[in-house]
Amino acid sequence: MSDLYRSALSSRIAKLPLNPPDDGSEDNEEEEAANSIGDLPSSSSNMAPPSISRQRRKPKTPDSAYSPLSASSCFEQAVMVSVPTTGLDIRVYYTPPSTKSGNSGPGTVAILHPGAGYSGLTFALAAQEITRTTKGDLGVLALDPRGHGKTSSHPKPTSGVEDLSIDKIVQDFVELVKVLYPDAKSAPTLLLTGHSMGGSVVTRASPLLQDAGYNIAGVAVLDVVEGFAIEALPHMNTLLNSRPSGFDSVEHGVEWHISNNQIHNLASARISVPATLVTNDTQRGPAVLWRTPLRDTAPYWEGWFKGLSESFLSVRTARVLILAGTERLDKPLMIGQMQGKFQVVVLANVGHMLHEDDPARTAEVLVDFWKRNERVVIGSKVIKKVGES
């Protein structure tokens, strides 16, 4: 359960994690050298957000200690994948399974789905650790969901607000997998991993992919419990009002995440936060804004989490729930745990962004989970870039 949920339930109003604005820092590096990650730098609302209509003031000087970092050492590729059935061009960050050890076959890939407001780069350091500790035997693939990061819709929504209903983003996920691996029989085994809202996506996508013939090694859900997420929803607008509408610079956005304990790991924040921000092209308000304003997603909040526990318990594969701190389970999960239906791992000294706060420990848990449920790693399958035959 997130710091946000904890704050809501305990009435300790804390600032909510930011929503993504894209300052264009990734695009500025020659559009990432033709999509090569080697150049990668890193409604129900009844309360209006703080006004940004005032004339923009002179910004404070950015602190270089919070400047963006490249994710080039974390993934081998950054590509745009066209998914015609959903009208999306989806940004994917990918390191294929290694063939150095003489493995043959498609291997196994951990597909990492971020939570609301974050891009695939939230998993950058955890992905790097997975690659390092498995010597590349376990591939990793992180994605920017609809309305997040560099993923774009065609046509763009007329209202400016993406449809982030659970059914829509589950469909996006399933269709992406089908484009990446058109032949389910020759596709790699998939380890589905999702943080917060992303945990709900991969949980619901798992049976759909299995029905389509894909082999699912397991489902890992990071820091979300349905019962407490639902209880926190009435407090969300108050929490959202406590955070800034934007920042003077990307560096100030990174600094805000660290100083407000939204992310505890500065290196990770310098990679992930820039992808959550976009440049404000007007002459009013902050210089950078959230890429995915969470307030606009309010109509979808309940749908993201309602039924999650039942869906998780009914998944036809191995399951692990990774939580931050000492958390309670809701009643269905408590019963399921007593029946031995899934594994629970609690990480210490982390917040809601546990995979950013402690990427090494998160990677260790995921790798151990994978090894227990997919003991034989058999080679790799290279994902083709958009436009390749």
Q: Which residues are catalytic?
A: 196, 223, 352
Contact 253, 61 (CB under 8 A): no
DSSP string covering 281-324: -SSBS-SEEESS-GGGGGGGHHHHHTTHHHHHHH-SS-EEEEEE
| Contact in structure between 136 and 98 (CB atoms under 8 Å) | yes
* φ, ψ at 187 (rounded to 5°): -75, 155
CA–CA distance, 19 with 204 (Å, rounded to integer): 24
Other CB atoms within 10 A of residue 319 CB: 22
31, containing H or E segment: helix 30-35
* Residues of the chain by 3-state class (helix, strand, coil), percent to 5: 40, 15, 45
Which residues are registered as beta bridge partners of 216?
Answer: 190
Q: Is residue 80 a contact partner of residue 91, using CB atoms and an 8 Å limit?
A: yes
User: What is the CB neighbour count within 10 angstroms for residue 303?
Assistant: 16
Tell me how many degrees the CA angle 351-355-359 measures, rounded to the nearest 5.
115
- CB of 125 within 8 A of CB of 142? no
Burial of 331 (0-12, 13-18, 19+ CB in 10 A): exposed
Instruction: Tell me the C-alpha distance between 203 and 166, whole Å.
Output: 11
Give the type of residue at 221: V
